[in-house]
Chain A
Amino acid sequence: MLERFCEVNNTFPKTSEILEHKGKSGLVFGWLCTYVPEEIIHAASALPIRITGHRQETELEDGSAYLYVNNCSFSRSCLQMGLRGEYDFLDGVVGGSTCDGARRLFDLWRYYIGMPFHHVLTVPRKYTPEAHTLYYSQVVQFKEHLEEFLGIQITDGKLRQSIELYNESRALLKNLYELRKLDNPLITGAETMEVLDASFRMPKELFNLCLNDLLRDLSNSTPTHQGKARLMVTGSVLTNPDFIKSIEDRGALVVTDELCTSTRYWSDPVVLDGDTPPLQAISQRYLNNFPCARMFPSDERFNRILELARDFRVDGVISQIIRYCVPYAHDLPLLTQRLQAQGIPTLAIDVEYGTSGSGQIQTRVQAFLEMLKVKQR
């Protein structure tokens, strides 16, 4: 069922689709952060893929030498892969001014790796009309820079097509999550992570087909995950399904998540009505998107998390924050308070990017689950 997705994830970044695309003289742009409007890259007939780090936690000699040991292991991991040529097929990289780790990653990428196209969008931290005006101008600038680089015109028509395609992916992922909302979910958190990872690594056309197939298979499957504690995993970037599996192996089910690589990535569609120019619609959506911890006020993010927790009837939350991930670390005290006020306990775990969940983590999860059981009685 998941083989196609797993294949992509296991061979990334040099997947067969990417190599095939390059073989046909197609262009590939790497992006980092959910505030980069992917549809624009797609509308330029290029393949947007998300830059992520090593699949498993690994030695980060190069990453640490360049970014220093006190930058998050995610940024170090991404940079290391870049330095080692694993992203050498990229025609360009696009980032947002989102957090310190990301911005320094981009700075060093430009100096030490260097790609034909490099663009950073300023992303305001607020949602005011002025912030929207600024972000919109940034989106326009990005589009124009891309047009100039490629020597093409990105038409409104192409933008609409890309938006529709991406909205379809989002709708399909929403359907997938609906299957996790059920009392007896049809898919685990770890399995979902494989699908999510593939979502930003595959051409969306292909991804949508594969996800359609999966949804069809799942609708015919029998539920096997009943009676388990329902958990939500939140926090920093997470791409390793083994981490979620190590939690689920303790006898719980991760029914939803709030991560850069999950709900914060796909939840909100671009709203296209007849009148709004597509670029404006894109800009609206991306700034108003399910908030990253960098945005102000934090309650916008907290409220969305509480909403998720309610909708998915979550018993407990596991917060996994990468060491030196500052925005999320700052949010944690207030977030924990908000969740507690709703009667939802939180387990906070420090992790490194790519961790699969060591003995220590499993012990703590075990204890947390036992505490939840007691609470339920």
Chain B
Amino acid sequence: MINAEEKKDKIDSLVRACGVLLRMNKARPDGRKSERMYYEMLANYYTRLQSARDEGKFIAAHTVFFPTEILYAMDIVPMHTETTTWMISLFTGECADLLSAGADLGLAPEICTPHRGLAGAFAIGALPRPDVMLWSNLICDNTAKSGELLMEVNHCPGFFLDHPFQHSEDEKKYLVGELDSMIRFLEEQSGHKMDWDRLAEIVGLIDRQIELFREICELRKAVPSPFHTQGFLELLTIDYLFPGQPEAINYLETLRAELAEKVSSGQGAVSNERFRLMSFFIPPMYLMGFLERISQEYGAVSVTEPFFTYWGEGRLDPSRPLESVAEKSYMIPEMRMYGPLDDRALKSIVSCAEQYKVDGAIYYADVGCRHSCATVKLFKDTLNKIDVPMLTLDCDVVDPTITSEEEMREKLEQFFELLEDR
């Protein structure tokens, strides 16, 4: 039985955590305004989720890289399962409990921690029970296979969005068909009708959002680079949680202005920029504070993340909203790692390394992420050809038992020394 009190607690703690981060930001003289806006957005996101049940709102839990814009256009409350689980792990420190609950469901230890964690979180009521479970096959098997068990755990209906592997016209048509089916499913389940005008509006804003992402990343090319090393996680979360939302546009415009200001005054994110780094995959979230500190200490900044922040070409046409939602899903940076891995992916690495004047690269090799780790050698070889060394760090996004701060420090210091020595 899900304990109703327990259920509220975990989202409560996220709201509280956002409040704490907000206050910390305000207390700092150099506290970034955009960062405040970011925490406010997060706080609102979780407050909305917190009160959704009581207000009789319809909650849709969904997996990563999901077209959340559809949910916004239908006035459905979204719950991003992986992100919410990460945050719960981080802010409550109860990662082990979530993982163990996942194991109790029968999920093997090789299943990545975000997915074992989120299944466990549903099982023990740490995540609120959704009205529907939505999932797609982006970007790996773990996501594709997660939904059915979660439907059973939550006793709720669900929809699987099948995203085709390649980019041909037939496949884009199939995807649009899938989106359409999903909308009909949601209309039936929620009793809300799709507001096509609103979706068109949102698509227009997403187009603007992507433009802003591009502009911000353009600013990061400056020497010294203006955006701090863990900043890209904010950009990622904006795309995950707030596609086409006016607050997101405000945040991005504010951030852009802040970075432009820093660039014009020659101010870098670190006081003495020595190493410009390319990052692959996501660093351990529980070490974010440490990674910022070591970044300042060594003057090492992540200036580019080809598969997280380097957006592909293309514009979205609001007059064809559904096709645009489909199109957008192919433009997401991570999508270069989906589909047959081709020159698009490797060329973007080389291009980013050159454009951003990268000294070295770090691959955060998450032990549970198979499709990502399979590219470690290929990406390293690609970078070595242009004389950029790459450090591979075995770690886990959420589970603090996989690697410690000491181990990370040792390896990073060794790597910085290697870069210095060259």
Contact = CB atoms under 8 A, between A and B. Distances in A.
Direct contact of A and B (CB under 8 A): yes
B123 to A, nearest CB: 11
Q: Choose among B110, B178, B365, B368 the residue with the greatest number of A CB atoms under 10 Å from its CB.
A: B110
B152 A99 contact: no
A324 B370 CA distance: 8
A122 B162 contact: no
B164 A124 contact: yes
Given A71-B370, A326-B111, A330-B142, A125 B162 contact: yes
A26 interface: no
Contact of B365 (A68, A130, A138): A68
Contacts of B145: 293-294, 326-327, 330-331
B394 to A, nearest CB: 9
A65 B392 CA distance: 12
Contacts of A296: 144, 148, 160, 162
A119 to B, nearest CB: 10
Q: Choose among B111, B141, B168, B369 the residue with the greatest number of A CB atoms under 10 Å from its CB.
A: B141
Interface in A134-189: 134, 137-138, 141
Interface stretch (B279-287, B300-308, B375-383): B375-383
Given A122-B171, A125-B160, A330-B142, A107 B105 contact: no
B371 interface: yes
Contacts of B111: 326, 329-330
Contacts of B374: 66-68, 71, 100, 104, 107-108
Given A326-B145, A327-B145, A334 B370 contact: no
A285 interface: no
Contacts, number: 137
A101 B341 CA distance: 13
A298 B151 CA distance: 12
B137 interface: yes
Interface residues of A, number: 52
Nearest to B374: A104
Given A68-B376, A330-B146, A134 B141 contact: no
B377 A65 contact: yes
Nearest to A137: B170
Contact of B174 (A103, A110, A130): A130
B340 interface: yes
A68 B377 CA distance: 8
A128 B178 CA distance: 10
Contacts of B106: 332-333, 336
Interface string B318-340: 00000000000000000000001
Given A294-B141, A324-B110, 20 more contacts: A66-B374, A68-B365, A68-B374, A99-B141, A103-B340, A104-B374, A107-B340, A108-B378, A110-B341, A122-B165, A126-B162, A130-B177, A130-B178, A134-B170, A296-B148, A297-B148, A324-B370, A326-B110, A330-B141, A333-B106
Interface of A: 65-72, 97, 99-101, 103-104, 106-108, 110-111, 120, 122-126, 128, 130-131, 133-134, 137-138, 141, 293-294, 296-298, 321, 323-327, 329-334, 336, 350
Closest 4 CB pairs of A and B: A333-B106, A330-B145, A97-B165, A104-B374
29 contacts: A65-B377, A66-B374, A68-B370, A68-B377, A69-B373, A70-B367, A70-B369, A70-B370, A100-B370, A100-B371, A100-B374, A103-B340, A104-B341, A107-B341, A108-B378, A120-B165, A122-B171, A125-B160, A134-B164, A137-B170, A296-B162, A323-B110, A325-B110, A326-B140, A326-B145, A326-B370, A331-B145, A333-B105, A336-B106
